[in-house]
Amino acid sequence: MLERKEYVPRPWQKDMTPWQLDVPRDAIWATMGVGKTVPTLTSLQALKLAGDDGPALALGPLRVARDVWSKEALKWKHLEYFSVQPIIGDTSARMLALRNKADLYTINYENIPWLIEYLGENWPFQKVIADEATRLKSFKGGVRKNGRFDVIGGERAKALARIAHSKTKWFFELTGTPAPNGLEDLWGQAWYLDVGKRLGASFGAFKNRWFQRSFDGYGSSALPFAQQQIHDALRDICLTVDIKDFVDVKEPVVRNVFVDLPTGVRRLYNDMEKQMFMEMEERTCEVFNAAARTQKLLQIANGAVYVDPLSTDDSHPLSKEWKRAHDEKLLALESIIEESGGMPVLCAYQFRSDRHRILSKFDYAADLSTPEGFAKFMKGRCRLGIAHPASLGHGVDGLQDVTNICCFFGHDWNSEQYDQMIGRVGPVRQMQSGYDRPMFLYHIIARDTMDEAVMARREMKRSVQDALMEYMKRKNGK
């Protein structure tokens, strides 16, 4: 187990915990990458020490509920006696998880209706955290003038509405972009905090006050004064944190997102890696071909494996067939898309299997290698655009007008292609186009795999051979 670290809040995190402790029902609107989890865990720990020791519940996307909160709690010394229990899996696994005593339970949004029905009147969670709170925007219910309560919206939002005020005292919302599709997204999120006190007791009242019917007769548009008035109305319960107020926008904001290989895949990976090390040690003179030898390991780290054992990378004639190994990186990419709050994400993939799996998982994704996909992404019509770094080299311009987020799903030894990919939406392009905003750079990394050797080469400016040999020494020394 890694040694726990002292928690020293970064400048943009300093106000978060005091805010949550001072405002029992609040939202933190903080741009992606600032780190909202540990300040919130610190708030829960402070409440526990102050005597409010009942369990808390955190809602989030599947990967966040399964991994992020529990792993974050293990990093810090001040959380040594704070326990986290994910409520994940099939029904029996979730029921079993609820029997384990913990300070914080975490569950994915899809299982909220089940949890509320299962616990019924025995609801124990006085503290609820809605991570990626824009998932609550679909709620359109409220209280009519006759006192009747309407429950309108998605199943998850409706279920949560039944207990949000009657059975909880503390309600924290966390999101990077609270209104990705416009101001109308704010009413549902605000309702969970104040039962419509600030934006109106019903969604209809909210729209009548701040919106007008569009000129084409369809939909609605915000009145000129709406944005300022709505933001002013929410100011006392919503803390806004913009990372560009604290960092140099000339440098990317880098975030490494780690995933763990499932047990069976880990065994397969370790066996293949051991075999590769043995071959390289027997043929020391061929170490300069090491990058080619690592391609199969990098693909397994991404989530697929070639069917033919002799195939290595996409250029090999036997590499056309592959089979799925795991979906951990797909779940991580899903979380990044959620966190982006509507801003499109430019994602780099390495293998044909990556491309196929990403497009299958995200049916709204645009493949930038096709004219249709490129045009669709450039018009801002999709939340995800994917491309191989080799296809987005010199001469491709305009992507910085669509997004400031770049994500690497997989990794390769080619530093030039890596730099070119970043350059399409990087800080220089952002500033050249007149955008005063940081560029966010995500690396999805399979822990304890060849991904880390590639990352070390980039960070330390090493040669492929030096980075790989250092990685081999570390692994063999375990």
DSSP 70-139: HHHHTTBGGGTT--EEE--SSHHHHHHHHTS--SEEEEEGGGHHHHHHHHGGG---SEEEEESGGGGTT-
pLDDT band at 26; cut points 50, 70, 90: very high
Q: Which residue has the higher pLDDT, 48 or 281?
A: 48
Residue 402 has pLDDT above 50, yes or no: yes
- Range in 280-289, 419-428, 435-444 the model is least confident about: 280-289
Highest mean pLDDT among 149-158, 315-324, 454-463: 454-463
| Listed range (34-48, 74-88, 204-218, 261-275) with the worst mean pLDDT | 204-218
The pLDDT of 27-35, averaged and rounded, is 84
Band (pLDDT 50/70/90 cuts) for residue 143 is low
Mention every residue, 6+ apart, whose C-beta is less than 8 A from residue 449.
261, 269, 297, 298, 300, 301
Please indicate, yes or no, whether the overall pTM of this predicted structure exceeds 0.85: no
Place of tokens 């990352």: 455
Q: Which of 474, 47, 278, 108 is nearest to 39 (CA)?
A: 47
Average pLDDT taken over every residue of the chain = 87
Predicted pLDDT at 109: 93
Looking at the predicted structure, is the pLDDT value of residue 181 above 90?
A: no
CB atoms within 10 A of CB 352: 16
Would you list the domain boundaries of the chain? Answer: 11-245, 247-478
How confident is the model at residue 141, as a pLDDT? Answer: 66
Under the banding of pLDDT at 50, 70 and 90, the label for residue 287 is very low
DSSP type of residue 14: T
Q: Report yes or no: 40 and 16 within 8 Å, Cβ to Cβ.
A: yes
- Residues with Cβ within 8 Å of 358's Cβ and at least 6 positions away in sequence, in order, are 330, 333, 347, 349, 365, 384, 386, 409
More confident residue, 140 or 218: 140
Contact present, 55 and 99 (Cβ < 8 Å): no
The CATH superfamily assigned to 247-478 is: P-loop containing nucleotide triphosphate hydrolases (3.40.50.300)
Q: Is the pLDDT of residue 409 over 70?
A: yes
Distance (Å, rounded) from C-alpha 84 to C-alpha 88? 12
Q: What is the pLDDT of residue 217?
A: 61
**Closest by Cα among 414, 417, 358 to 389:** 417
Query: Lowest-confidence range among 92-101, 127-136, 243-252, 461-470?
Result: 461-470
Q: What average pLDDT does the segment 314-336 reach?
A: 82
What pLDDT is stored for residue 317 in this prediction?
55
Q: Which region among 38-52, 187-201, 421-435 has the lowest average model confidence (pLDDT)?
A: 421-435
Q: Which fold has domain 11-245?
A: Rossmann fold (3.40.50)
